[in-house]
Structure 1
Amino acid sequence: MELRGKVALVTGGNGGLGQRICHALAREGAHIAVVYAKSRDQAEGVARELASSHQVNAAAFACDLTDGAAVQKLVSEVVARFGRIDILVNDAAYNKAIPFPELDAMTMEEWDKILDVNLTGPMRLLKAAGPGMKAQGGGRIVNISSVAGLGPTGSSIAYAVSKAGLIHLTKCMAVALAPEVLVNCVAPGLLEGTRATANLRPEQVERSAAGALLKKAADKDDCADMVVAMCRTETMTGQTVVIDSGRMFH
């Protein structure tokens, strides 16, 4: 798909990886809806930078992804502002470091919040934006999962399960939205300079980097470039690509 002039909605667009994704798409000429949960000033700053650096249209939109009505309103607002949505990137996520054996610390409140943001939130957006893409004859959806979704690892059991669910949701929605809309997934390993990594214990960060064949964290720009490739593709759908410096093989 030619990206110039297309409209991309990126959740978590003000985050460490989200900003890289926004810039990567904007460099290709896509207009960007930067979706944020709380950090309005930061998101508006990202939108201004995108517009000035890449000569595209960009704007910030607030949305609580755990609120179905708010998600519907978001999609309506983005369509009203830009005229359409061609690309959806589900990057927003929430995690909290809870060691797997500490089951008492994994309260049902934490479980519900993590699953609601990381899995149900993307499903709400897929349902809200997907049919419009299908009706207009084409679109691309990219979900951002994690290597935690491929094995019993990550910041908590809930986080791992939510990311595993997102990988399978990618496959299911690829079937549901075919042939007009292609749905794929990027599963990063440890990424430095993100809110998710900031929530990890130092020993988790060290262990993740040391356990990679390349002995370093994954690169955010590599992940953003893969998102662009998945938006360009004409024949890949339902797939998950791991970018983790050589930790997980699947």
Structure 2
Amino acid sequence: MGRVEDKVALITGGASGIGLSAATLMAKEGAKVVIADFNVEGAKAAAENIKTAGGEATGIFLDAGDGKSIEEAVESTVSHYGKINILFNNVGLTNLKKDLDVVNMDLDEWDRLMNVNLKSVLLGSRFAIPHMIKAGGGSIINTASMAGFASDSIRTAYGTSKAGVVHLTKYIATQYGKHSIRCNAVAPGLILTPAAKNNMVPEVLDIFAKYNALSYHGEPEDLGYTVLFLASDESKFITGQTIEVEGGHYIANPSIADIEAFAKKAQG
């Protein structure tokens, strides 16, 4: 039997990257998967690929900035498969040109990122929880970010919104645990999604590699397997937690890499 056999999962932002990896793995492990994405053609193509591989999936449209669209995605999932057991709130946006430091950031961008990155998690959970209660429980997984724990010179709104996701995860877990609903989050570090590969120059990747504890970068599957674990009953006594999937980038004194380089140079 699969790890999420006969469960129904709604995955937002599932047409590519982390969401697609989670959708593919859940389908492989027996779940019926609804892939919801603004890129509806990508969502439908992903669903067809899952079907070709022997899984069960459907692709639908989702605008995570529109509460009605989020509600419709949940209702469509329940209408199509009769229930919802797993919700993966995975949609997230960032904008390096507008989301700057506190003095110079675009305030409209602040509102947009809070709406898409944080409010969508609230609304997805709000609409799914009553159906999960009827189904006897469920698992909600939210995509946070290491930016919710460590600050940066820019991306003020993004990091703040993801910190909100971390804390909202705890509130959901506290309020609905007695209904057998668990809520956890994953906090990715640098993950080589298609977007990251297209937008990050090799020099920046080298900087991340310098400060990682591990000798390699993360792949979408690294998050996908973590989400699968949190969706399954293997994690039935874990709730309110944020699992950091970041290659050890943030675990040590940030100067260690430079100190080690200095020591090697000093030793000749």
Q: TM-score, normalised by structure 1?
A: 0.91
Moved more, 21-30 or 197-206: 197-206
Unmatched tracts of structure 2, length 5 or more: 253-268
Match of 1:90 in 2: 89
Pair 1:197–1:94, CA change in 2 (3 A): farther
Report if the CA contact (8 A) 2:92-2:116 is conserved: yes
Pair 1:81–1:154, CA change in 2 (3 A): farther
How much has 1:248 moved relative to structure 2? 2.0
Match of 2:208 in 1: 208
**Partner Cα separation in structure 2 for residue 101 and residue 107 of structure 1:** 7
Pair 1:215–1:109, CA change in 2 (3 A): farther
Match of 1:17 in 2: 18
Match of 1:160 in 2: 159
Pair 1:166–1:8, CA change in 2 (3 A): same
1:246 aligns with 2:245: no
Match of 1:33 in 2: 34
Report if the CA contact (8 A) 1:189-1:217 is conserved: no
**Partner Cα separation in structure 1 for residue 156 and residue 33 of structure 2:** 33
Pair 1:2–1:16, CA change in 2 (3 A): closer
How much has 1:17 moved relative to structure 2? 1.2
Match of 1:169 in 2: 168
Moved more, 192-201 or 9-18: 192-201
Unmatched tracts of structure 1, length 5 or more: none
Pick the structure with greater CA Rg: 2
1:112 aligns with 2:114: no
Residue 222 of structure 1 aligns with an amino acid whose one-letter code is: D
How much has 1:6 moved relative to structure 2? 0.8
Residue 192 of structure 2 aligns with an amino acid whose one-letter code is: E
Report if the CA contact (8 A) 2:35-2:43 is conserved: yes
SS in 2 for 1:58: strand
Tell me the number of residue pairs that the alignment of Structure 1 and Structure 2 aligns: 248
Structure 1 stretches of 4+ with a deviation exceeding 6 A read none
How much has 1:164 moved relative to structure 2? 0.7
Pair 1:101–1:81, CA change in 2 (3 A): closer
Pair 1:24–1:70, CA change in 2 (3 A): same
Match of 2:260 in 1: none
- Taking the TM superposition and a 5 Å limit, the aligned residue runs for 1:119-158 are 119-153=118-152, 156-158=155-157
Q: TM-score, normalised by structure 2?
A: 0.85
Pair 1:202–1:113, CA change in 2 (3 A): farther
How much has 1:135 moved relative to structure 2? 2.6
Residue 217 of structure 1 aligns with an amino acid whose one-letter code is: H
**Partner Cα separation in structure 2 for residue 92 and residue 194 of structure 1:** 15
Report if the CA contact (8 A) 1:87-1:140 is conserved: yes
Report if the CA contact (8 A) 1:99-1:155 is conserved: no
SS in 2 for 1:178: helix
How much has 1:64 moved relative to structure 2? 1.2
Match of 2:4 in 1: 3
Report if the CA contact (8 A) 1:190-1:197 is conserved: no
**Partner Cα separation in structure 1 for residue 135 and residue 199 of structure 2:** 40
Pair 1:165–1:111, CA change in 2 (3 A): same
**Partner Cα separation in structure 2 for residue 207 and residue 200 of structure 1:** 11
**Partner Cα separation in structure 2 for residue 112 and residue 44 of structure 1:** 30
Percent of residue pairs bearing the same amino acid type: 30
Report if the CA contact (8 A) 2:100-2:153 is conserved: no
**Partner Cα separation in structure 1 for residue 98 and residue 215 of structure 2:** 23
Pair 1:206–1:157, CA change in 2 (3 A): farther
Residue 161 of structure 1 aligns with an amino acid whose one-letter code is: T
How much has 1:9 moved relative to structure 2? 0.3
